[in-house]
Amino acid sequence: MDDDGLPTDGLLTIGALARRTGLTVKTIRYYSDTGLVPSTDRTAAGYRRYGAEALARLELVRTLRELGLGLDAVRRVLEREQSLAEVARAHADALDLRIRTLRQQRAVLRAVAEHGTDPEETETMHRLVRLTADERRRLIEEFLDDTFGTADADPELVAVLRAAVPELPEDPSTDQVTAWAELAELTRDRDFRASLRRMAAYQAEQRAEGDTTGLHHELTERVREVVGAALAAGTAPGTPAAADAVAELTARYAEVFGRPDDAALREWILRRLEVAADPRVERYWALLSRINGWPAPPELAPVLAWFTAALRAAG
């Protein structure tokens, strides 16, 4: 034996090779039989023996197998049909896809475990989570094309909706998975699409009448502030305090839209509130925010409901 523990002729038996590498004799024999690590020679009795090149080759095979490469890929590297870098890159890409898939599966399973969804809901959730980013975008585009394709909708609003695409991360949380499943189902709701068309038609009608003040963000924020304060104070519609709040807001509407502050204005405001009252619109944006990790939008539905009730009570 030399200083490295090799026999003087530099060859190892299959048993010695197994001890050197930590692989089983059965595995090494299989690699030899398939030509991955052929023996250097055989003894007179037919026993395989392996030299330093076979040892190095076997170590490489073991490393590549531990990294998850299949035998065909290992063979291509050993036979120099592909470079190790090329095979490693392809395998890493495949692992990325597999990891992403496993993360999505984990998120779906956790959602099922936490929410107790039935088999049909589970299948739907799994199918939706597996969609690619392009497929998710096409789903939203189909929803918008069908909803606003024939409606005279505000182009700025449609542009905002088209830009707001759900971006499900590679490692989605349970909340993001359930939000995406609900959002996808909401976009297929025919009644929701019809409600959005009614909103678009109303907006077109208002533009035709000279309303060019856009989406009225400042006015909406003022309504939110005044009504929010009333809600926080526990002010009920029909009370004097509610009437004061309504009077302040109708005066602001009159100023913004250049209309008299009278009963006709209040009826006009009521119609605007009824058109905008579909809670599914707010739900759409809330779900989108959860999926994309955006700050949760402030709730407007309770504000609109209180304002509508207070406006009716004020007469």
Residue 195 domain-assigned? no
The four Cα atoms 95, 119, 167, 281 give a dihedral, to 10 degrees, of 180
Q: CB-based contacts of 245: which residues, under 8 Å, 6+ apart?
A: 226, 227, 229, 230, 235, 310
Let me know if residue 90 belongs to a domain.
Answer: no
For residue 205, being part of any structural domain is answered with no
Same domain, 304 and 236: yes
In whole angstroms, what is the distance from residue 66 CA to residue 85 CA?
16
* Same domain, yes or no: 121 and 183: yes
What's the predicted TM-score (pTM) here? 0.64
Q: How many structural domains does the chain have? A: 3
H or E stretch covering 10: none
Do residues 65 and 118 both lie within one domain?
no
- Is residue 46 within 8 Å of residue 32, measured between CB atoms? no
Q: Does residue 96 sit within a domain?
A: no
170, 244: one domain: no
Predicted local distance difference test score (pLDDT) of residue 151: 58
One domain, residues 131 and 170: yes
In this structure, the answer to whether residues 221 and 279 fall within a common structural domain is: yes
Q: How confident is the model at residue 9, as a pLDDT?
A: 62
CB contact at 8 A, 144 and 136:
no
Is residue 182 one of the residues assigned to a domain?
yes
135 vs 128: CA distance, rounded Å: 9
> Which domain covers residue 48, as residue numbers?
12-82
Q: Are 106 and 158 in contact (CB under 8 A)?
A: no
Residue 7 domain-assigned? Answer: no
Q: What does the alpha-carbon distance between residue 191 and residue 220 come to, in Å, rounded to a whole number?
A: 25
pLDDT tens sequence for the chain (315 residues): 433 444 546 789 999 999 988 899 999 999 999 999 988 888 888 888 999 888 988 999 988 888 888 999 999 988 888 888 988 888 888 888 788 778 878 877 887 887 777 787 788 787 888 888 888 889 999 999 999 876 567 777 788 888 888 988 888 888 998 899 899 999 999 999 999 888 888 877 777 776 655 446 788 899 999 999 999 999 999 999 999 999 999 999 999 888 999 999 999 999 988 888 788 999 999 999 999 999 998 888 899 999 999 999 987
Let me know if residue 98 belongs to a domain. no
From residue 289, give the alpha-carbon distance in Å to each of 144, 276, 284. Answer: 18, 20, 9
State which of 50, 82, 114 marks the end of a domain. 82
| Count of alpha carbons within 13 angstroms of residue 214, beta-carbon side | 6
User: Do residues 220 and 307 share a domain?
Assistant: yes
Question: How many CA atoms are closer than 13 Å to the CA of 285, on its beta-carbon side?
Answer: 14
Residues 303 and 230 in one domain: yes
Judge if 77 and 114 occupy the same domain.
Answer: no
What local confidence, expressed as pLDDT, does residue 199 receive? 84
The verdict on 292 and 249 lying in the same domain is yes
The verdict on residue 196 lying in a domain is no
Query: Distance between CA 305 and CA 311 in Å, rounded?
Result: 10
Residue 67's domain is classified under what CATH number?
1.10.1660.10
